[in-house]
Amino acid sequence: MRILVTGAAGYIGSALVRALAAHEVIGTDQSAPAAVLGNIAYPQFARSLVTPEIDTVFHLASLVSGGAEQNFELGTKVNLDATRDLLEACRLAGHCPKFVFASSIAVYSGVDEIDDATPPAPRLSYGAQKLVCEVLIDDYTRRGYIDGRALRLPTVMVRPGSANTAVSGWASAIIREPLAGRDYICPVRPDTRMACISLRRVVDAFVRMSEIAGAQLGSKRTVLLTGIPVSAEQMWNAAKPHATGKVRFQPDPAIQPIMDRIPKSTFSQRAQALGLRPSASIEEIVREYEEAAIAHHR
């Protein structure tokens, strides 16, 4: 099976490429080690990626929440226009490939507890762009151009390396930095909660979604992933036994109001029925990150 992964050099994309090692994977990103270098914000490049030989597209490339809010034009090009260009490439390829899309719980706002019946109501451009893409995927699927499916992702932890522009980036940093021996100033209150899931569970969910029969999904192709509610204080407490760095809480007046509006937990019976498993606890998430870090340095 020949598979295309956009955002293949990213946090989730690189892990997904490793999980798909048994298949022929064509990865694309703006930076190495992707096999095909390029910017999907350019329509000609995006439309060149889907050839008749591609069986499955995993579309993960995006400009994350903070970046899309700061630069509306770029966010629209990367998150919305590039997705439509990929969908058009699939349509013109003429063989209805599977199309697996990384959406986000940023499509919700103002509700603490999210479930399958919660209506989307984005309050960030990033969430609005993801929601439009979900609608397009349903329509392209209805017309037989793709066999689409999308996952609404909670905050995925623990992101290695330097922080990106996601407003939830602190949730990884509060674990990653003290474990690396660096002190960290957390820009939210200790009681600030968010819905969380580990990288391993998300990669498993993407692979599983690519394997599920379209008939099992029906006409609504977007599935919410369950994210466990974890506070900033609980994150720090889970990392503390193995940390040499310290954490100090200093709420940022630009970040705290945004975090106060985002979902605190998500629960999906549909995801459960489809075999998409959540993380068991924040301790499990931290343990998976530490295990991955050890394996990387061997």
Residues annotated as part of the active site: 126
Q: Tokens 């957390």 — which residue?
A: 186
Say how far residue 38 (Cα) sits from the centre of its chain.
20
Q: Tokens 């392209």 — which residue?
A: 140
Q: Which two tokens stand for residue 273?
A: 């029925």
In DSSP terms, 248 is beta-bridged to 185
Distance CA 146, CA 138 (A): 9
Q: Tokens 């690519």 — which residue?
A: 210
Is residue 178 helix, strand or coil? helix
CB 268 within 8 A of CB 225: yes
Distance CA 141, CA 245 (A): 49
Q: How far is CA 20 from CA 59, 161, 254, in A?
A: 14, 23, 39
Q: How far is CA 260 from CA 54, 173, 198, 281, 288, in A?
A: 42, 18, 22, 22, 27
Distance CA 175, CA 171 (A): 7
Phi and psi at 101, nearest 5°, equal: -115, 140
Distance CA 143, CA 140 (A): 5
In DSSP terms, 157 is beta-bridged to 198
Q: Which two tokens stand for residue 110?
A: 């103002």
The DSSP bridge pattern shows strands 247-249 and 184-186 to be: parallel
